[in-house]
Amino acid sequence: MQRPSALRLGSLGQVLLHVRDVARAEQFYGETLGLAHVFTFGDLAFFDLGGTRLYLHRMDEDAWQPGSILYFLVDDIEAAYAELGRRGVELTSEPQRIFVHDTGVEEWMAFFADGEGNTLALMEKRSPSAQA
């Protein structure tokens, strides 16, 4: 099978999450997490994730389903996790090392909830020099 030569996917432009309550989700993503609000139109709210747009779409309870887990890169996972706790975020899994690359780079993750039924995560790539 021949691959199309003209296809070149760019970076991710938008991610969709279903929410149950737009106002509550706007408060969480905007005020609690500090994401920049782009706009709201009816049951749709949009935030900026460092150049990728987060699209929150309200769904009725019978149609709602959780979305993909969003992994937010952070420089210091322990500090970020503690700050989320201070902000009243539901923390679901403490920071833990999940993998060590051959180069010595460690990948760490921690998980939390958005209050809408979606799981979110923090992710840190820790270089060997930062581990000393």
Q: Where are the domains of the chain?
A: 8-61, 68-132
Phi, psi of 2 (to 5 degrees): -90, 135
Query: What average pLDDT does the chain have?
Result: 93
Superfamily of domain 68-132: 2,3-Dihydroxybiphenyl 1,2-Dioxygenase, domain 1 (3.10.180.10)
**Burial code of 63-79, b = ≥16 C-beta within 10 A, e = fewer?**
ebeebeebebebeebee
Mention every residue, 6+ apart, whose C-beta is less than 8 A from residue 113.
89, 90, 92, 119, 120
Q: What percent of the chain has pLDDT over 90?
A: 82
Task: Assign domain 8-61 to a CATH class.
Answer: alpha beta
Per-residue pLDDT at 45: 98
C-alpha distance from residue 119 to each of 69, 76, 105, 129 (Å)? 6, 20, 25, 31
131 or 45, which is more confident? 45
Q: For 91-119, what is each residue's pLDDT tens digit?
A: 999 999 999 999 999 999 999 999 999 99
Residue 72 pairs in a beta bridge with 122
Q: Which of 80, 105, 114 is nearest to 95 (CA)?
A: 80
